[in-house]
Chain A
Amino acid sequence: MRVNLTVNGQARSDEVEPRLLLVHYLRDVAGLTGTHVGCESTLCGACTVLLDGKAVKSCTVLAAQADGASVTTVEGLAKDGKFHPIQDGFWEEHGLQCGYCTPGMMMAAVDLLSRTTNPSEDEIRHALEGNLCRCTGYQHIIKAVQYAAEKMRAAAGR
């Protein structure tokens, strides 16, 4: 079957098997390997992308279900050669060790920051419940999100 969708602002049209999962579509068809395959069972969040602006676990979405939608992956965060504030946050606050969970963490954080500009630590922890990190103990990830929130508020003049 044919799917038409926008990935990181670029329109695509591809022939896919109906059972193809969005995560495999992004990695194997679109060649965007920043989205990671983790548990493959909707638990770990490594495969998180934005589907029409909302964080979803792409291992549990069919490419067919994304037909007509707009998908943002970690590769779509940086604009004009400049990191997104969440990427700066993970860099500055050392929000990663092995990095496997990082793309999913950042996409979930972007969903949070689209809902609230000044999240509390509790709100950040709650928003990242669907993302597992086995290295950091989460503390630096929280700080990375706080860093991004502050930068985004400053940029918006709030």
Chain B
Amino acid sequence: MYPGQFEYHRAASIKDALDLLKRYGDDAKLLSGGHSLIPMMKLRLAQPAHLIDVTKIAELRALSESGGKIVIGAAAPHDAVATSSLVRDKLGLLAEAAAAIGDVQVRNRGTIGGSLTHADPAADYPAAVLALEGEIKLERDGGSRTVKAADFFLDLMTTAVQPGELLSQIAFAPIPAGAGYSYQKYPHPASGFAMVGVAALVSLDRSGKIASARVGVTGLGAKAFRAGAVEAALAGKAADAATITAAAAKTADGIDALGDIHASSEYRAELARVYARRAIQAAVARAKA
């Protein structure tokens, strides 16, 4: 299996990449690790005439801390995110989700920007980026805009990225001290994709009650989403098993659960409830520790 023919361009800078995007328009695709795009091209699901490789743009690969935010370059490979001491210390939930992606070879190549823009319904990152309320920066000719994670995922493999735009970085507020988090997934045994994955971030107040909870869910529906009903059922409540189980039971409410050869929609919904409970429990345990 090999991709169809295309012309290969290497962008030296973000501006260079945007110029190339403008020149080739709908015939062009941005290429970074290529771990979503190249498989799509082999299957002829994507047949771009031009590939614009952004991997060599150093600022797109950087992991940094600036202005109180942790900034992850779009072309940072999953392994770099999973093993970065900065990310592990201040954004542990993102590192945990990155470490859960595929296998080591995939993590060495695949990138966060590629995963988010591809928006596979079973990708791991979106759950964590939603729970961490990432701010996604999109560059375009003559400017840039920032999209909140909650507004980024629109539908199955469809995002807020417009033609001519390039996702350059994702900025996050660091996880507050004392908050607990966990990413729990049921991986597909062959591909490693999340049949269901749940990212939970929980803060407790001084009395040990749940001050706030954020829960991101992937794999269940056409797009990753914040489980608002679960979050509302946790806020202000005692951080005990009964509360968590009752809240997690709402994970699939109102969601049109995907069903396929691997799992019926009913089974996926049950997985989501179980993995939400486990993720929230683990997050609470960490917050108490």
The 0/1 profile, CB within 8 Å of A marked 1, for residues 7-30 of chain B is 110100000000000000000000
On whether the beta carbons of B3 and A19 are closer than 8 Å, the reply is yes
Please measure, in the bound complex, the distance between the C-alpha atom of A17 and the C-alpha atom of B35, giving whole angstroms. 19
Q: A43 touches which one: B4, B8, B38, B190 (CB < 8 A)? A: B190
The residues of A that contact B104 with a CB separation of less than 8 Å are 55, 108, 111-112, 127, 129-130
Interface pick from B105-113, B175-183, B212-220: B105-113
Chain A CB within 8 A of B51 CB: yes
Sort A-B residue pairs by CB-CB distance and give the 6 closest, nearest first. Answer: A130-B103, A18-B8, A54-B108, A40-B1, A129-B103, A130-B105
On whether the beta carbons of A19 and B105 are closer than 8 Å, the reply is no
Please measure, in the bound complex, the distance between the C-alpha atom of A96 and the C-alpha atom of B6, giving whole angstroms. 39
Extra pairs beyond A56-B105, A57-B109 (20, CB < 8 Å): A1-B8, A18-B5, A18-B6, A18-B8, A19-B3, A20-B2, A21-B2, A40-B42, A41-B39, A43-B191, A45-B103, A56-B108, A57-B105, A64-B8, A64-B53, A65-B55, A108-B104, A129-B192, A130-B102, A130-B105
The 0/1 profile, CB within 8 Å of A marked 1, for residues 44-81 of chain B is 00000001010100000000000000000000000100
Please measure, in the bound complex, the distance between the C-alpha atom of A57 and the C-alpha atom of B3, giving whole angstroms. 16
Give B79's nearest chain A residue, CB to CB: A54
Chain A CB within 8 A of B228 CB: no
Chain A CB within 8 A of B34 CB: yes
Give A67's nearest chain B residue, CB to CB: B10
Q: A41 touches which one: B10, B42, B55, B105 (CB < 8 A)? A: B42
The residues of B that contact A130 with a CB separation of less than 8 Å are 102-106, 192
On whether the beta carbons of B108 and A19 are closer than 8 Å, the reply is no
The residues of A that contact B34 with a CB separation of less than 8 Å are 60-62, 65
The residues of B that contact A40 with a CB separation of less than 8 Å are 1, 42
The A/B interface has a contact count, at CB < 8 Å, of 77
Please measure, in the bound complex, the distance between the C-alpha atom of A111 and the C-alpha atom of B103, giving whole angstroms. 12
Q: B7 touches which one: A18, A45, A61, A62 (CB < 8 A)? A: A18
Please measure, in the bound complex, the distance between the C-alpha atom of A130 and the C-alpha atom of B107, giving whole angstroms. 10
- Residues facing B in A16-70 (CB within 8 A) are 17-21, 24, 40-43, 45, 48, 51, 54-57, 59-62, 64-65, 67
Please measure, in the bound complex, the distance between the C-alpha atom of A60 and the C-alpha atom of B104, giving whole angstroms. 14
The residues of B that contact A17 with a CB separation of less than 8 Å are 5
On whether the beta carbons of A61 and B109 are closer than 8 Å, the reply is yes
On whether the beta carbons of B5 and A42 are closer than 8 Å, the reply is no
Chain A residues in the interface with B (C-beta under 8 A): 1, 17-21, 24, 40-43, 45, 48, 51, 54-57, 59-62, 64-65, 67, 108, 111-112, 127, 129-131
What are 6 A-B pairs with beta-carbon distances under 8 A?
A: A18-B7, A19-B2, A45-B103, A48-B105, A60-B38, A61-B109
Please measure, in the bound complex, the distance between the C-alpha atom of A48 and the C-alpha atom of B105, giving whole angstroms. 8
Please measure, in the bound complex, the distance between the C-alpha atom of A59 and the C-alpha atom of B109, giving whole angstroms. 12
Please measure, in the bound complex, the distance between the C-alpha atom of A56 and the C-alpha atom of B77, giving whole angstroms. 12
The 0/1 profile, CB within 8 Å of A marked 1, for residues 104-124 of chain B is 111011000000000000000
Closest Cβ–Cβ distance, residue B44 to chain A (whole Å)? 12
Give A130's nearest chain B residue, CB to CB: B103
On whether the beta carbons of A19 and B35 are closer than 8 Å, the reply is no
Residues A62 and B42 in contact in the complex (CB < 8 Å), given A42-B35, A57-B106: no
Give A104's nearest chain B residue, CB to CB: B105
Closest Cβ–Cβ distance, residue A75 to chain B (whole Å)? 19
Give B32's nearest chain A residue, CB to CB: A65
Give A3's nearest chain B residue, CB to CB: B8
The residues of B that contact A41 with a CB separation of less than 8 Å are 1, 39, 42
Residues A19 and B5 in contact in the complex (CB < 8 Å), given A42-B106, A55-B108: yes
The residues of A that contact B191 with a CB separation of less than 8 Å are 43
The residues of B that contact A19 with a CB separation of less than 8 Å are 2-6
Give B190's nearest chain A residue, CB to CB: A43
* Residue among B7, B38, B51, B55 having the largest count of chain A Cβ atoms under 10 Å: B38
Give A44's nearest chain B residue, CB to CB: B190
Give A57's nearest chain B residue, CB to CB: B105
Closest Cβ–Cβ distance, residue A110 to chain B (whole Å)? 11
Closest Cβ–Cβ distance, residue B250 to chain A (whole Å)? 32
